[in-house]
Amino acid sequence: MIIILNTINYQALLFSIQGSEGEFFGRKGWKPAMLHHISFAVADLDRSAAFYDAALATLGYVRVWADSTAVGYGLPNDGDKFAIKLRPERPTPAGSGFHLAFAASSREAVARFHAVALEHGGQDNGIPELCPEYGEHYYAAFVIDPDGYPIEAVINEPV
């Protein structure tokens, strides 16, 4: 089932809602994933691509495709899970409560993400630290990207 969520002045988010591992609507052995991909509208593709190239590299993510209007990111030799798309009419990020959290492999990666994001035009929105309000092992850093989107790097595992 596909659900498209639209908010005023915000690009549509596409969510793929899937069942549990095993058989899924007749597809045996298929491992489900809740999110298929997400994209942000950006005003300046070069600026945003430079930001995300640097920040996401600290987490092991790379450009997996690019054209003159968009850039997709994911794991090397895999499809995109996150994309930025040029929308010169000055996109408006979603309101309070929205953010996107990128998975990190270590606390060190979270700290690198935060530092590199700030070096490439991001604004600090929360230093790398344990966030016990989200869980005993929840270690995260928060940044506002150059277009105003709140993003996060997080690892939620014991050290």
Query: Residues 116-142: pLDDT tens digits?
Result: 999 999 999 999 999 999 999 999 999
| 98 within some domain | yes
- pTM (two decimals): 0.80
Domain count, the chain: 1
pLDDT in tens, 57-77: 999 999 999 999 999 999 999
Phi and psi at 83, nearest 5°, equal -135, 150
**In this structure, what CATH number is given to the domain that contains residue 88?**
3.10.180.10
For residue 32, pLDDT over 70 is answered with no
| 123 within some domain | yes
pLDDT band at residue 25, thresholds of 50, 70 and 90? low
| 25 within some domain | no
Q: Where are the alpha helices (DSSP H) in the chain?
A: 45-57, 107-119
Q: What share of the chain is helix, strand, coil (3-state, %, to 5)?
A: 15, 40, 40
| 9 within some domain | no
